[in-house]
Structures are given as C-alpha cells and as structure tokens.
C-alpha cells in the first residue's frame, strides 16, 4: 500500500466530523442556565464547553436566590443549529442544572452588558471623549487631569461601537462583564 | 428516625440502606476509618482487589450482570486516580456504579498533602456527577443521592469524595426514606404523538429494522421482554450493538446478529437498505454508522433514548422519542395493538427473503487449517460446549472481543460484559470477578487476548483469595491482534510494536497463583481441554494458542458505508482510503 497522503487537519469523511447534514450556518445564541449554587457547578458548565469543543463568546454567573441556593449563568455561544441543540441537551443533563432557556428562540429578550473603559489623553481628544460619552449615555466614574474611566451599559454591539470610537482617542483598558439577559414580558 | 454516628459508620449504614452487599476496594490512609467499620460488621462483603482499576471494573461487572448499582471503595490520591479509567469506562457504557474515595482532611485540602489529588476535579468529566462531602451531617444524604443519580435516567458512574476528618466526625444519619426527593428526575414516559407517528410508520414500512443497544439492557428485564414481544409480533428483523447483545435472543427467528464495524453482513446490509430504522436505546456510535454521510440513506429514522443529548447528536432523527425503553415499548405495543396490529406483511416477507439471501453469504466463514487452532474455531467450540449452561461472558478488548460477539450467542440480557465505548484493555478479568461475586454458582468466562489479559492479571490473586472460579479463556496469538490488523490494512504491513514478546508461561503463571493452567494448541485436543476447564472447581487460566495472523472479518473499513464491507483477506488491499485513515 502506498504511503498515505493525509493533509494536516483533514477530517473529510471522518466519523467524528459531526457537521450537520441539515444546516452549517453558525448562529449566535444566548442561553440562560439556572443551577444549584454549589461548588464546582461553573467548572461543570465550562468543562462541558471545552470538553466537547463548543464556543463561549461570553459568560456571566452570579447567585440570584440566596435562600434557594440558585445561580444564573448567562452564556453567549455560537454554533450551527445542531450544535446549539446539543449544547442545550448536554447542559440539561448536568445534575445541578435546573433549567436551560434559549433566549434567542424563546421570544423577545433584553440583553445588557456593563463595561468600564479607560481613556488617556488631553486637549481636544479629552473633550471629544466626553462628548461621545454623553451621546452613548456613559458616565465618567473616575477622572484625573489626563484620564477618564467611563461606565456604560447596553447591548454588546453598543459597547463595541463605543469602544471603537474611543480607540483613536486614547482607549487604554477595557473591562466587560459579559451579557446578562432576561426574556421580555411575562 | 435519625441517629448520631461517625461519618465512617454512616458510609456502611448508607450502603446497607441501599441494599449493597458487596464492595470492591483497596484500603489506604484516607479510608482507614471506613475500613475499620467494615471490619466490625458482616452484612457487607468486601472484596480486596489488587489494583483500584480492578475495583471499578469489578463493580462494573457486578452492575452489568445484576442490573444493580456496583460499589467500589478507594483511597485518596493514587487510589482515586487509578479509578479514573474505570469511571470513564462506566460513563461511556452507561453503567451505574458508585465510587467512594477517601480524601485528605478538609483543613489540608489544597496544601499538596500526602496522597492528595483534586479528585472531584479530576473525575468531573468522567462521572455523571460527583460530590465532595465537607460536613458529616450531609454525608448520608449525599450517598443516597449518589445512588439515585447513578441508577436513574441514563445510568452512569458517580463518585463521592470523603475527607478523613468527615469520616471521623460524628453527625446525624439520614435514612434513605427521609432524603428529600431529588430534583433529578429524568423523563421516562415517551411523547404519545411521536409514539403514534412511529406506529404509523411501522404499519407502512416495507423494509423495517430494529436497531437496539445497551439502553434496552439498562432499562431492565421488562424492557427485553417487551422488545421480544414487539419483534415477534411484528416479524421485523432485529440487530443490536455490541452493548445490547442478549436483549433479543440469538436463537430468535428475527435475529440478524450484531451490526457495526465487525458486525454481520446481513445486519449491516439491512441497516443500509431499510426504509424504517427503529433505534431503541443505542446512540449511533461511530463504530456503528461508518461514514455518516452514507449511513442508511433511504430510511426514516426513529430514535428512542432516555438521554435527550443522544438524539440528533450524530444522525438526525425523523421520529425522536425521549423516554425509558421499557415505558416507550409498552406504549408502542399498546398503540400498535389498539390500531389493529397492522404491518405490511407481504413487503416485510419479501424483505425477510432479501435478508435470507444476505445470510447465504455466510460472512463469518473462515478457513479451518489442520493443526492450528483458528480463533473463530476456538469460540465456536466454546459456544458449543457452554451455550446450555448458566453462563456469563466477559471480554477484554480487541479481535477476540469482536469474535466473541460474532460467535457466542446470548439468550438473555445481563449475560455479556464487555468494554464497548471506551475499549478498555484489562477490563475482562476484574469484570469477571465482579460477575462471579454476583453469581457464585454460575459459569463466568473471560474471553481474552493475551495482551489485554496481562494488563490486569494481578486480579487473579483476587479470584484465588475469594474462591471465584472464573475461567480465563485466553486466545493467545502473541500479537496485539487488532493493532496488527490495522497496521496490515493501513500502515503498509509495518508491524510497529504490535507483538507480545517475553510472554509468561501461562500454565506456570496459573500454578504460581495457585490456580489451574491448561494449554492447548491442537484443534483435536480443544474440546477435551475446554471440558477440563469447565470441570475444574476453581479459577483456570486457559492458554489457547491460536493462529497468529488471523484478521477479524467482516469489517467496514474506516470511512466507508455499511454496504462496503470487507469480507476476507482477498478484498483488503487498499481498502482504507485517505479519508478513512485519519479515523480511529
């Protein structure tokens, strides 16, 4: 048998290549996962994503019900419809997971993210930064003679837009919380 | 009723409450308090293994042969890390086991203490769930929850990590019945609309096939009974994965044999050409599907599984049914009967005729040569001489495992213990010990290859100590047969490190352990040698010297579809193409 010529990274016809026969268009989804607030629960969720090769675009977690020991994890992820379905099913079978909601398909939802952005500079750039902050309804939460820290809340796209505009004006540091999301209405 | 007692006593009490009567384990510093309690009671029998991997596989063998939860007890650090392979094996094959591991005292966790390992961290991806118990008051409730999680829904392994100070401290014991109902309650009833849709598809099907898996076995004996009723009433042919053998009897009229990479020609052809595939408790594993794009292109696919994540994972299900096999089969039968027990009998008879033609190919045929024992022949004789006995069969992993699945017939569930998903060499001896512990008066055979067998051969000491008459049937080809086969087909016959050199003399090894050794190399002596093995009251190591270069056929080469099977030596040249070569 002649030497095999397998291209690096080739997974053509591999049984492990699970790309769907239905759709290979990637979609962004926001999932809300209600879990028992116990040791290791976040590691289980993250381990699921890394172990099975799923994407995490952002992830936020905090306790939402102290008496009931419940936390809510909001995960933004990207994948084909089949992968998204797999992620939901896999999350659902983690024992301390109570509910998995796909906010992207379960009707309208609100998504908000908080970011802190540090801008360094003086003169016109400093004035322009303040003016942009006003337009974006960002607050200056710290100030020196040569810097501001702005606080902004909004959709990830709004924060992206604000950061893009601040970049030429001396943006030096950004801290973002990741998305928190709730469904609209009752 | 609540009582005060130490954590160690709670462990023993919880196991009693759960009806456990055998624990496989190995002591060490961090579990000494539990061992002290085990010493002071007689209800639970402790089987001292020789390596913690053996304890977990033995618990698996026990669980699979009984349908109950298997229990293993290991110490911290290396004890727990040695359990990882067994846990992963049980996770892949959905076997309910509870592993209890010792841990350094809570105040030393994180200090790199002696024999400390982050056991819950290490075992998180290889358990269904795990717990670190930090407070003695929570210990018994956690253990009861552990048994619930292991045995409910899709079964699997769980681990409870028990720090030594928690074992020493006193707390309040919570009996099983007082433990609040867990929120973990997987759905067992299937959706009636989907079930009705499946029944409608069954009524119209011209070329139906049942494709069953380990889920039928895991669902319990009732599931196997319902499956038999459904298959025999409809007259549809049935095939099974490696994991599901025995759910439908091998002697049944509609039995096609195992499917998959080394499955039978008629089973794989039926899967490829069917128009309705009814998957019951199987998961479209890559050993089954071959290349996904060409998998059963003309069929409607119904998939019954208790785990929603199995559905649409690999193959899109046209009729997905989430539920427990026994519950769903009961409803299918109910609906099908209520609608008048209809099938397209003429078409199904024609389909059975087609299948008969495929059977005539005689895909398991092999050439019997004069003075050398063919491995297939060895298993044919083993089957002939043991099939009417009360028999449990374990295997190691490799060619012998596939031949065993092809040539041994299983009439009942829970009779066949083999490492399917993980493919763990070294599984068979400890699994046979677990099965024999559960069924002390039955015949337990471990069909092995010499290479796999050596991986956990220390467990022969366990078999001797506990007088477990396990029969180790080693088909010795002095090769890592399956590796060798792939090297022949795929790597230009360059046999890199795939032979067993410096093998022990297995007969002398048997004597060294104090059990019986038998060697056989002549086909004419084989029957007598097997009879001698069966007649001996005690463990036997049977060294069956077989043909060294036999390949396991039929075989679906990697990257090929079900109807592209290799049937024998002549057809193998260049059979695996570039695309297939990258796969395992």
What's the rounded mean pLDDT across residues B40-68? 98
Global pTM reads 0.93
In this predicted structure, which of B64-78, B269-283, B450-464, B546-560 has the lowest mean pLDDT?
Answer: B546-560
Asked whether B129 and B151 are in contact (CB, 8 A), the reply is no
Contact flag B583-A43 (C-beta cutoff 8 Å):
no
Using a CB–CB cut-off of 8 Å, the residues of B that contact A are 120-121, 124-125, 128-129, 132, 149, 153-154, 183-184, 286, 289-293, 307-309, 311-314, 316, 489-490, 492-493, 558-559, 573-574, 578-583
CA distance A32 to B128: 22
What are the DSSP E strand ranges found in chain A?
A: 27-36, 58-65, 70-79, 97-102, 109-120, 139-144, 147-154, 171-183
Q: Which long-range contacts (CB under 8 A, 24 or more apart) does B578-581 make?
A: B578/A4, B578/A5, B578/A6, B578/A10, B578/A12, B579/A10, B579/A12, B579/A13, B579/A14, B579/B291, B580/A13, B580/B291, B581/A4, B581/A6, B581/B490
CA distance B452 to B471: 15
Residue B528 — φ and ψ, nearest 5°?
A: -65, -40
CA distance B376 to B363: 12
Asked whether B494 and B473 are in contact (CB, 8 A), the reply is no
Structure tokens at B401: 């495992």
Per-residue pLDDT tens digits for B472-525 = 999 999 999 999 999 998 899 999 999 999 999 999 999 999 999 999 999 999
Is residue A67 less than 8 Å (CB to CB) from chain B? Answer: no
CA distance B564 to B322: 32
Residue numbers in A near B579 (CB within 8 A)? 10, 12-14
- Catalytic center residues of B: 52, 114-115, 164, 482
Per-residue pLDDT tens digits for B317-343 = 999 999 999 999 999 999 999 999 999
Chain B: nearest CA to A176, how far in angstroms?
28
Contact flag B293-A44 (C-beta cutoff 8 Å):
no
Contact flag B290-A18 (C-beta cutoff 8 Å):
no
| Sign of the four-CA dihedral B558, B393, B48, B39 | positive
pLDDT-based confidence at A8, cuts 50/70/90?
A: very low
Asked if pLDDT for residue A2 goes beyond 60, the answer is no
| Helices then strands, each counted (H, E), chain B | 24, 20
| Closest residue by Cα to residue B79 from B24, B132, B42 | B24
Asked if pLDDT for residue B263 goes beyond 90, the answer is yes
Give the per-residue pLDDT at A23.
72
Is residue A86 less than 8 Å (CB to CB) from chain B? Answer: yes
Contact flag A15-B149 (C-beta cutoff 8 Å):
no
Give the per-residue pLDDT at B369.
78
Give the per-residue pLDDT at A163.
98
- One DSSP character per residue, B465-476 reads HTT---EEEEEE
CB neighbour list of residue A46: distance below 8 Å, 6 or more residues apart: A56, A59
Give the neighbor-by-neighbor strand order of the sheet with A171-183. A139-144, A147-154, A109-120, A171-183
Residue numbers in A near B311 (CB within 8 A)? 89
Contact flag B309-A86 (C-beta cutoff 8 Å):
yes
Asked whether A49 and A56 are in contact (CB, 8 A), the reply is yes
Contact flag B291-A13 (C-beta cutoff 8 Å):
yes
Residue A17: Cβ-neighbour burial (10 angstroms; 0-12, 13-18, 19+) = middle
Asked if pLDDT for residue A176 goes beyond 80, the answer is yes
pLDDT-based confidence at B12, cuts 50/70/90?
A: very high
Per-residue pLDDT tens digits for B536-565 = 999 999 999 999 999 999 999 877 888 888
A residues 33-52 lying closer than 8 A (beta carbon) to B: 39-40, 43-44, 47, 51
Residue numbers in B near A85 (CB within 8 A)? 312
Q: List the beta bridge partners of residue A144.
A: A147
Asked whether A48 and B129 are in contact (CB, 8 A), the reply is no
CB atoms within 10 A of CB A174: 14
CA distance B230 to B355: 19
| Sign of the four-CA dihedral B409, B60, B539, B522 | positive
Give the per-residue pLDDT at B325.
98
Per-residue pLDDT tens digits for B110-160 = 999 999 999 999 999 999 999 999 999 999 999 999 999 999 999 999 999
Give the per-residue pLDDT at B182.
79
Contact flag A15-B573 (C-beta cutoff 8 Å):
no
Q: Are strands B238-240 and B208-212 parallel, antiparallel or unpaired?
A: parallel
Asked if pLDDT for residue B368 goes beyond 90, the answer is no
Is residue A53 less than 8 Å (CB to CB) from chain B? Answer: no
Residue with tokens 């119904």: B302
Contact flag B124-A13 (C-beta cutoff 8 Å):
no
Is residue A17 less than 8 Å (CB to CB) from chain B? Answer: yes
Give this complex's ipTM: 0.90
CA distance B543 to B536: 15
Asked if pLDDT for residue B572 goes beyond 70, the answer is no
CB neighbour list of residue A154: distance below 8 Å, 6 or more residues apart: A112, A113, A136, A162
Is residue A135 less than 8 Å (CB to CB) from chain B? Answer: no
Give the per-residue pLDDT at A17.
38
Taken as a whole, chain B contains a residue count of 584
Name which of B132, B153, B293 is nearest A13 (Cβ-Cβ).
B293
Asked if pLDDT for residue B569 goes beyond 70, the answer is no
The answer to whether the peptide bond before residue B554 is cis (omega within 30 degrees of 0) is yes
Structure tokens at B566: 């290799």
Is residue A10 less than 8 Å (CB to CB) from chain B? Answer: yes
- For chain B, what is the mean pLDDT? 95
Asked whether B529 and B518 are in contact (CB, 8 A), the reply is yes
Give the per-residue pLDDT at B166.
98
Contact flag B490-A1 (C-beta cutoff 8 Å):
yes
Give the per-residue pLDDT at B180.
76
What's the rounded mean pLDDT across residues B434-454? 98
Per-residue pLDDT tens digits for B169-190 = 999 999 998 887 778 999 999 9
| Closest residue by Cα to residue B175 from B17, B19, B37 | B17
Chain A: nearest CA to B206, how far in angstroms?
25
Residue numbers in A near B307 (CB within 8 A)? 89, 93
What's the rounded mean pLDDT across residues B57-66? 98
CB neighbour list of residue B440: distance below 8 Å, 6 or more residues apart: B468
Asked whether B546 and B252 are in contact (CB, 8 A), the reply is no
Contact flag B312-A86 (C-beta cutoff 8 Å):
yes
CA distance B472 to B236: 37
Nearest Cα residue in chain A from B577: A4
Asked if pLDDT for residue B411 goes beyond 50, the answer is yes
CA distance B227 to B247: 8
Asked if pLDDT for residue B2 goes beyond 70, the answer is no
Nearest Cα residue in chain B from A38: B131
Name which of B124, B125, B291 is nearest A15 (Cβ-Cβ).
B291
Asked whether A78 and A57 are in contact (CB, 8 A), the reply is yes
Per-residue pLDDT tens digits for A120-144 = 999 999 999 999 999 999 999 999 9
Chain A: nearest CA to B184, how far in angstroms?
6
What's the rounded mean pLDDT across residues A52-56? 94
Residue numbers in A near B94 (CB within 8 A)? none
């Amino acid at each position: 048998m002649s030497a095999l010529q397998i291209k690096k990274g080739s997974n053509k016809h591999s049984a492990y290549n699970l790309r769907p026969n239905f759709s290979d268009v990637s979609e962004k989804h926001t999932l809300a996962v209600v879990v028992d607030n116990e040791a290791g629960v976040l590691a289980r969720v993250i381990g699921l994503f890394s172990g099975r090769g799923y994407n995490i675009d952002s992830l936020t977690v905090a306790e939402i019900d102290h008496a009931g020991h419940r936390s809510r994890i909001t995960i933004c992820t990207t994948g084909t419809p089949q992968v998204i379905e797999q992620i939901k099913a896999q999350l659902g079978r983690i024992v301390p997971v109570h509910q998995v909601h796909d906010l992207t398909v379960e009707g309208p939802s609100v998504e908000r993210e908080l970011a802190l952005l540090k801008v360094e500079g003086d003169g016109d750039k400093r004035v322009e930064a303040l003016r942009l902050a006003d337009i974006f309804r960002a607050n200056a939460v710290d100030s020196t003679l040569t810097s501001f820290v702005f606080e902004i809340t909004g959709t990830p796209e709004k924060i992206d837009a604000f950061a893009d505009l601040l970049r030429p004006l001396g943006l030096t540091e950004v801290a973002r919380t990741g998305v928190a999301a709730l469904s609209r209405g009752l | 009723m609540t009582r005060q007692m130490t954590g160690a006593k709670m462990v023993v009490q919880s196991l009693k409450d759960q009806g456990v009567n055998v624990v496989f384990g190995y002591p060490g510093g961090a579990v000494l308090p539990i061992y002290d309690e085990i010493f002071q009671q007689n209800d639970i029998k402790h089987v001292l293994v020789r390596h913690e991997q053996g304890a977990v596989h033995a618990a698996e063998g026990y669980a699979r042969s009984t349908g109950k939860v298997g229990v293993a007890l290991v110490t911290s650090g290396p004890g727990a890390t040695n359990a990882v392979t067994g846990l992963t094996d049980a996770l892949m094959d959905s076997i309910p086991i509870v592993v209890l591991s010792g841990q350094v005292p809570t105040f030393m966790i994180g200090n790199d203490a002696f024999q400390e390992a982050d056991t819950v961290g290490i075992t998180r991806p290889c358990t269904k769930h795990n717990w670190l118990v930090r407070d003695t008051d929570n210990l018994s409730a956690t253990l009861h929850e552990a048994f619930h999680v292991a045995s409910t829904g899709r079964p699997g392994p769980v681990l409870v990590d028990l720090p030594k100070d928690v074992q020493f401290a006193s707390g309040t014991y919570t009996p099983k019945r007082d433990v609040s109902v867990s929120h973990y309650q997987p759905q067992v009833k299937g959706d009636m609309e989907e079930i009705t849709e499946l029944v409608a598809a069954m009524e119209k099907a011209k070329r139906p096939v049942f494709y069953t898996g380990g889920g039928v076995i895991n669902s319990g004996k009732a599931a196997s009974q319902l499956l038999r009723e459904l298959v025999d009433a409809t007259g549809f042919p049935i095939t099974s994965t490696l994991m599901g053998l025995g759910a439908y009897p091998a002697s049944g009229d509609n039995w096609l044999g195992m499917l998959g990479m080394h499955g039978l020609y008629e089973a794989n052809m039926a899967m490829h050409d069917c128009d309705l595939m009814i998957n019951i408790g199987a998961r479209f594993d890559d050993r089954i599907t071959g290349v996904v794009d060409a998998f059963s292109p003309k069929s409607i696919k119904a998939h019954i599984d208790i785990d929603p994540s199995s559905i649409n994972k690999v193959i899109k299900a046209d009729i997905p049914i989430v539920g427990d096999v026994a519950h769903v089969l009961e409803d299918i039968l109910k609906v099908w009967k209520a609608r008048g027990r209809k099938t397209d009998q003429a078409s199904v008879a024609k389909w059975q005729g087609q299948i008969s033609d495929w059977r005539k190919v005689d895909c398991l045929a092999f050439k019997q040569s004069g003075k050398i024992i063919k491995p297939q022949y060895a298993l044919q004789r083993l089957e002939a001489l043991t099939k009417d006995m009360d028999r449990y069969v374990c295997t190691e992993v490799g060619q012998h495992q596939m031949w065993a699945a092809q040539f041994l017939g299983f009439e009942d569930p829970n009779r066949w213990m083999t490492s399917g998903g993980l493919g763990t060499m070294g599984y068979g001896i400890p699994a046979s010990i677990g099965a024999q512990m559960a069924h002390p008066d039955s015949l337990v055979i471990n069909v092995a290859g010499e290479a796999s067998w050596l991986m956990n051969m220390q467990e022969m000491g366990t078999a001797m100590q506990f007088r477990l008459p396990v029969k180790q049937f080693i088909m010795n080809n002095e090769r890592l047969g399956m590796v060798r086969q792939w090297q022949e087909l795929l790597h230009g016959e360059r046999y890199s490190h795939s032979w067993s050199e410096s093998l022990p003399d297995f007969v002398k090894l048997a004597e060294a352990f104090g059990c019986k050794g038998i060697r056989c190399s002549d086909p004419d002596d084989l029957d007598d040698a097997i009879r001698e093995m069966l007649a001996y009251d005690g463990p036997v190591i049977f060294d069956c010297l077989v043909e060294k270069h036999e390949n396991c056929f039929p075989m679906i080469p990697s990257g090929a579809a079900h109807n592209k099977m290799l049937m024998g030596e002549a057809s193998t040249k260049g059979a695996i193409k570039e695309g297939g070569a990258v796969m395992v």
